[in-house]
Structure 1
Amino acid sequence: MHGCRRHSVAAWRAIPTGLRARDNGRQDMISNARFTAFTFAALAGASLLPLASAHAQAAPQDVAADSEQASDGSGIGDIIVTARRREERLQDVPVSVTALSAEQIRKYDMTSLEKISTQTPQLTIGRASNGSGAQLTLRGIGSSSTSIGIEQSVAVILDGVYYGQGRVINEGFLDLAGVEMLKGPQALFFGKNATAGVISLRSANPSNSPEFMARAGYEFKAKNLVGEVMGSGPLSDTLGIRIALRGSNMFGGYFKNGGIDKTYNTTNINTGVVTPHLAPALTGDNPGEREVLGRVTLQYKPTDRLTATLKANASFNDNDNNSWNYVPVACANGTYALNPAIKCGKQFTIYQNRFPEDLAGTNPFSRADGGLYNRYRSWAVTGTLDYALDDLTLTWINNFNRNVNQWACDCTFVSSDAAAAPSTEKSKYHAFSSELRAQTSYDGPVNVLAGIYYQKTRRDHTQTGSFGNVEDDTAPAAYRYLGYLKRSETDGETISGYGQATWKLVEGLEATAGVRYTHETKDSYLVQPYVNAALQFLFPQDKVIRAGQAFDNWSPEATLTWKPTSDITVYGAYKTAYKSGGFSNSGFVSTGTVPSDVAFNPEKARGFEAGIKTTLLDRQLRVNLGVYTYKYVDLQVDFFNSNTFAFITTNAGGVRTRGVELEFEFAPRALDGFNLHGTVNYNRARYTNYIAPCYGGQSVDAGCDTVFQGAGGQDLSGKPTAVAPAWTGSFGFSYETPVADNLNFGLSADSRYSGSYLASSFAHPLSRQDEYLTIDASVRLRTADDKYELALIGKNLTNRFIVGGVVDAPNTPAVVGQVADQMGFVSLPRTVQVQATVRF
């Protein structure tokens, strides 16, 4: 293995200039006109595929129940969830769950994790340009975005398969049957790395009869044209098919560019000659996204006992800038330290530049025209077998998924002559997993569930950067203007077994207890196979940092559930969770780097939660109340030293979260079609003990008065974690009523409130996000048979500026005695789209 790695490093030293023609982002960029034509041609073609099945016999039944079962047309219907890996009513399951039905997803066009988060007040998502690609935070617990090696504490599950990488934020989720957000530790049923919670998404399966849908939409802010088609139905009496395809082409963007032309000067280390390089301002609104998503599902049911489902899906996403939402949100002097012409503030404007014209196309993965970009490609195949005996159900899920993310970035994020960091990256990740579980359903008081899980992963990470204003005319052409090129790989393997016993003690009283055992290994290395000679005093060339890690964990849990009536559930639970340690593949090797700087320990959680779920007033009112307290040990936090561009992954000693959650839904029978709903949540997330790095420019008087790994440190004990508002809530309604013989009118509005919070993991005072209230709304006209629909959908109508995470801005503070400026990951501004749908 190590020999292969040395070969890989050596090969990277000899990158031919032809790489630029083969592997640059421009090669795969499709012009807007061609992309749009391709998208809608593909949509039209796909819509014809299932037509041959129109006269076939009845299709097999869908294995998974709909997220929301129809009631009698009024009152509250049952919501079916799979929070415990089996189908149960939401009101029966002893877990804190927020469930979104297919209808709710369609109402607000929730086709990405970011869009889903707008309907879940305690979940915040910050899209990042590099590192893991995202910061998902739930109840004040999340994972830093700056390290690609840190998997998310909020696990993402798609069709029963774990996707732990933050890059999953680039996935598009189309044709969903339901979404469940499980809050708090979820180790037993979902296994890997679900210390803060789980977002479980379920795609739709083939329908019993032929069903077709075509949809077109246009979003006005970003000038985004969207098309979607779906065809579903039986191919025979035992085989069903479902095909869904979505394409979009953005002619504008959400963020304006306010950059100005800048000059990047390089000094030839051999001759001392200084050469200016013009870096033109980035033009056009960002992100300018182009996307194609597709999924094909086959479901085979030869008998009532056996169901085999095969799902294959792919995502292709291109945009014009990987850091299109990076805004200098707050600066010590009100203007950016490296460019006083740029005012910092909460506005949807970025300040970035193209690669210098004469450097364009020279760096590996850079475009020949110097343009910025992000390119994401993913593929996945999931096969599921369900076999039902009289009292035993067997389920076997196998999955292979792969993604490749590549970008070119102006990674100083401002138009400054004082610094420039044209950087590029290519990261590849693939995983194979297999899970086999068995569950009994005896009439007796005791039943069991048992399973085994296996996963094999590989991450391959390459990054380059122009750094330090240096050049070397004796280096290969691809390296001449580079400050560094770094390589990192991690091979991971996980095997896990779990089991749960359920015992009905007496009528209405049930006890469950279970445990999951996990053994995981990770074999990693990090090296800079090229560093400009003038910078090797800081970043040594060929110094290899290796880590062979092995982790073992037992995560038990127990729950007591009492149902005095069918409409009341009372529960209490003790839960634990575990997220394995890892390796910060996107870190740097400096002269003082040791394995413990980039290899970090596991994250663990344990605690209690209790709740009551009620359905009242003859199923017109649903009220649920929950309380919780959890202790997190060794929370994984990544630190970016903005002065040295060094990354250090740390483990916070301890974090305590406590909270209360109330949710309600009211659907009066006296007003058919009306629904009122809302939540109120209180959460307190605080470090209990954490000697942490100081934020950039922090003074002794401000708390930088201790030592962290031989440098300045601060004691964050009692300080809030990142993105941890004390109060969050939501309130909304929906109403649909006939307005003509064959025409229904629908109106909905949903608000989301968040109290203020610090977006920094290190209590940086400039990172404060003010409290905000957002409003989403939709207006619809549809025919009574649901064949035709016209909708107007608005999101964040209050146009609130929301920061989901921050980093200390590169190369700041620029003046002694000032704190580092803050670069924020900003959510979308107000958007309004019109959407037309036909079903037949």
Structure 2
Amino acid sequence: MADSRRRTAAPNPDHNNGRDRVKTFRSRYLAMLAASAVAFPVTAAAQDAPAQGGLSDIVVTARRKVENMQDVPVAVTAISAAQIQKYDMTNLEKISTQTPQFTIGRASNGSGAQLTLRGIGSSASSIGIEQSVAVILDGVYYGQGRVINEGFLDLGSVEMLKGPQALFFGKNATAGVISLKSADPTTHAEYMARVGYEMKAREVVGEVMASGPLSDTLGIRVALRGSKMFGGYFANGGLNKTYSTFDVATGITTPHFAPALTSDNPGARALIGRVTLQYKPTSRLTMTLRANASMDDNDNNSWNYVPYACGNPNGTFGANPSIRCAKTFTVYQNYFPADLAGANPFSRADGSLYNQYRSWAITGQVDYSLDHLNLTLITNYNKNVNQWACDCTIVSAADPLSAPSTEHSVYNAFSTEFRAQTKFDAPVNLMWGVLYQSTKRNHTQSGSFGGISDSSAPAAYKYLGYYKRSETDGETITTYGQVEWKIVPNVTAAAGVRYTHETKDSYLTHPYINLALQGLFLQNRPVVANQAWDNWSPEATLTWKPTRDLTLYAAYKTAYKSGGFSNSGFVSATTVASDVAFNPETAAGFEVGFKSTLMDRQLRLNIALYSYLYKDLQVDFFNATTFAFITTNAGGARTKGVEVEFEYAPRAVAGLNVHGSVNYNRARYTNYVAPCYGGQTVATGCGAGGLTFHGADAQNLSGTPTAVAPDWTGSLGISYEAEVSRGWKSGFSIDARYSGAYLASAFGKPNSRQDAYVSLDASLRLKTVDDRYEIALIGKNITNRFIVGGAIDAPNSAADTLGFVNLPRTVQLQGTVRF
């Protein structure tokens, strides 16, 4: 069973006392490294149906080695390179539209996203909370919600592994894993050029790829994509407003005009590139080096924040009665006033809102195959910088509620991992690995607040209510292993465990607080936390293959999600380390599954049943009593359900594929005394029975659904491709995704409800038989459904609700040439 322990130091301005542990970490790691190595072969992509009809095998790396998906004792949904291209799935949000149980809510601040799988996800409001759904790119863990800003071009495959995956993928995989594999260099020269135009956002997209050998042993692949919107997905309905400031130094009140945004959002521009070198001097040795860079700019960091539900019976927004709540693709925001523009840190001189994301990564992988042993080393360094300027009232709210804010966050991560895996022609085989990771987050935020200014303060602080800075240095060392025993030829037992030792040293401070707010917030009084945890996450599976085409399995799994520090919190007069430092989250439970290939390999039918208990849920909320964001551990949750997936490819009709899924998932809090949602009364349970949470009235959510947890989801799709004339073939695909109703709020807020919906994606293609030329029409969310992926109480109007809304209907015309 998983266990953990935590150490949190008392506040201490000298936060360097954790640095002495670095030497201990490194010596411990080197000792393990000397005794360990790691291996798994290069991931193979999920294959498409063969030309003669019937099913082809799908190979995955769910257990860090190449296996047939039908043989793996894991619930896996695989998306091939052809499927990725079919719907232009170039980022995680687009990928989520093809996976009914996986939902993404894009957020402006905090972690930047709420990723939810099987009803388990992480709040977007705290940048310190790492996601429960781990994102793996080319074998490397990317833990930040900001990963949704990454563009994933030229992918070879995508795998969604559902349920806890700690043994093979480490911490922060309590809900599951999204594993992406970029395409490798080819053995012969290939070139591709593509241009597209998306009609809703008036977006032009261009992509090029070149791949092939530089010599007999060295191959290269270069991919580049650029895009620019001349419009957007969301209309701006903002109203001109005035933000007045009271100068605490002179007593003078000055009005500042803030014009409404008029352009559609997000108005995005992006440039993404990857270079891959692969060296194969012998059949045993493969060395791969990948370098990625991504640039993503938006004209508004909260471009999908829609005020869709009001607490007011008349349907108007509390902070601005001129705006009505509605489920429309409309946002209401304003430029910075001219006086504040360029004066506030990280603001632009023209007062425009923006979100600017930059990332860089380099990954080196060495695979070496001996007669009975595979060895692999993967080393990665990645860095991302996110900066924004926000009209954070969201609804053109005027005096005194305007809140122009800015943020600058930098995240660095270095990791190196070794694995070794035996391949004896014997009943017993072993896998062993060790990983070291070092991370650093530097977070800075400023905000105008409460209609105050101070002309006696430094120029950069004149119009600020607060300026805060936070930093977290983390180190992780983990070792893991598995024993696989083929008891008899068709029965295999496997057992393994991952041990993790982790530390995080953090501080949060306000270098500047306006004089009028210094009784509420504390200036230059840091809150410090030095944390350490140890965790054991065991796993055991039993697999029975009575025939080649039938697999039955049972598994016991556990998982561990890292604790941390809420870097985006506040230091108020009552803030202590435990308000912003939180413990790990754990999961444990069982899963049984049935995988089959039937009807002469024309039908694939997979069924999985599961039940998992999550403890010490990590929750972020705003405490109105102390006026502070608090991240803490509270209660638990259980998810249990059944999933059925099928794929049918009849041999009698080559090129036809019918596929779908039906999923039942019951995700409920087991014991959770929670903060009240905005506008909640005693009559609806707030403070009933004297319940409190961090000094404020609380409610009992035990037995109620978790956030973004529909009971029923499903999908149904059909694709067909055939030759229509000499030298030409055409194809189409239609995919429907169903979701039952759910609450988008983590605190049971009734007006956060997302109604049940069906969204529809479709594509039409005409191409030459040799695939050289192709023209395609790709439509997503054709039914134009309003879908909320997460929700928060509205600032200054808590009874109202803001939703993180997914994209409306999009239609793209795309042309491709390959040679």
Structure of greater relative contact order (alpha carbons < 8 Å, 6+ residues apart): 2
Partner of 1:338: 319
* Structure 2 residue 413 is the aligned partner of structure 1 residue 411: no
Give me the whole-angstrom Cα distance separating, in 1, the residues matched to 2:236 and 2:624: 23
How far did 1:3 drift? 7.9
Change in 2 beyond 3 A, CA 1:642/1:835: farther
The aligned runs of 1:75-474 (5 Å cut-off) are 75-333=54-312, 334-418=315-399, 419-474=401-456
Matched residue type, 1:547: A
Matched residue type, 1:289: A
Any idea what SS the aligned residue of 2:243 has? strand
Deviations 1:506-565 (A, max 9, x none): 011000000000000000000011000100111111121000000000000000000001
* Structure 2 residue 763 is the aligned partner of structure 1 residue 778: yes
Any idea what SS the aligned residue of 2:538 has? strand
Deviations 1:749-788 (A, max 9, x none): 0000000000000001110000010000000001000000
CA contact (8 A) 1:146 1:640 kept: no
Partner of 2:564: 582
How far did 1:646 drift? 2.2
Deviations 1:673-708 (A, max 9, x none): 100000000000000001111112211111112111
Partner of 2:785: 800
Aligned partner of 2:694 among 709, 733, 736: 709
Give me the whole-angstrom Cα distance separating, in 1, the residues matched to 2:781 and 2:14: 50
How far did 1:461 drift? 0.1
Deviations 1:552-602 (A, max 9, x none): 000000000000011000000000000111000001111111111100010
CA contact (8 A) 1:67 1:81 kept: yes
The aligned runs of 1:48-87 (5 Å cut-off) are 63-68=42-47, 71=50, 73-87=52-66
Partner of 2:517: 535
Aligned partner of 1:834 among 783, 808, 813: 813
* Structure 2 residue 698 is the aligned partner of structure 1 residue 719: no
Give me the whole-angstrom Cα distance separating, in 2, the residues matched to 1:526 and 1:143: 21
Matched residue type, 1:260: L
Matched residue type, 1:508: N
Partner of 1:672: 654
Partner of 1:506: 488
Give me the whole-angstrom Cα distance separating, in 1, the residues matched to 2:49 and 2:422: 28
Give me the whole-angstrom Cα distance separating, in 2, the residues matched to 1:213 and 1:73: 26
Give me the whole-angstrom Cα distance separating, in 1, the residues matched to 2:510 and 2:539: 44
Matched residue type, 1:406: Q
Give me the whole-angstrom Cα distance separating, in 2, the residues matched to 1:506 and 1:558: 17
Matched residue type, 2:105: G
Any idea what SS the aligned residue of 1:229 has? strand
Matched residue type, 1:94: P
Give me the whole-angstrom Cα distance separating, in 1, the residues matched to 2:782 and 2:693: 44
Matched residue type, 2:653: L
CA contact (8 A) 1:642 1:810 kept: no
Partner of 2:473: 491
CA contact (8 A) 1:642 1:811 kept: no
Give me the whole-angstrom Cα distance separating, in 2, the residues matched to 1:393 and 1:70: 30
How far did 1:645 drift? 5.3
CA contact (8 A) 1:643 1:810 kept: no
Give me the whole-angstrom Cα distance separating, in 2, the residues matched to 1:322 and 1:70: 41
How far did 1:71 drift? 3.6
How far did 1:641 drift? 4.0
Matched residue type, 2:79: L
Give me the whole-angstrom Cα distance separating, in 1, the residues matched to 2:638 and 2:13: 45
Give me the whole-angstrom Cα distance separating, in 2, the residues matched to 1:726 and 1:358: 50
How well do the aligned residues superpose, as a CA RMSD in angstroms?
1.3
Give me the whole-angstrom Cα distance separating, in 1, the residues matched to 2:164 and 2:786: 30
How far did 1:417 drift? 1.0
Partner of 2:33: none
Deviations 1:29-53 (A, max 9, x none): xxxxxxxxxxxxxxxxxxxxxxxxx
How far did 1:66 drift? 2.8
Matched residue type, 1:82: T
* Structure 2 residue 707 is the aligned partner of structure 1 residue 728: no
Give me the whole-angstrom Cα distance separating, in 2, the residues matched to 1:194 and 1:521: 18
Matched residue type, 1:765: P
Partner of 1:37: none
Matched residue type, 2:82: E
Matched residue type, 1:365: F
Deviations 1:792-825 (A, max 9, x none): 0000000000000111000124xxxxxx110110
Give me the whole-angstrom Cα distance separating, in 2, the residues matched to 1:575 and 1:272: 63
Give me the whole-angstrom Cα distance separating, in 2, the residues matched to 1:677 and 1:428: 42
Q: Report the TM-score when normalising by structure 1.
A: 0.92
How far did 1:69 drift? 6.2
Give me the whole-angstrom Cα distance separating, in 1, the residues matched to 2:629 and 2:187: 53
Deviations 1:624-658 (A, max 9, x none): 01100000001111112468752111212110100
CA contact (8 A) 1:642 1:808 kept: no
Any idea what SS the aligned residue of 2:797 has? coil
- In structure 2, stretches of 5+ residues that fail to align are 1-10, 17-40
Give me the whole-angstrom Cα distance separating, in 2, the residues matched to 1:463 and 1:304: 52
Q: Which moved more, 1:266-275 or 1:573-582?
A: 266-275
Deviations 1:177-222 (A, max 9, x none): 0000000000000002100000000000000100000000000000
* Structure 2 residue 794 is the aligned partner of structure 1 residue 809: yes
Instruction: Report percent identity of matched pairs.
Output: 71
CA contact (8 A) 1:640 1:807 kept: no
Q: How many residues align?
A: 779
Any idea what SS the aligned residue of 2:683 has? coil
Any idea what SS the aligned residue of 1:701 has? helix
Matched residue type, 1:766: N
Give me the whole-angstrom Cα distance separating, in 1, the residues matched to 2:383 and 2:683: 49
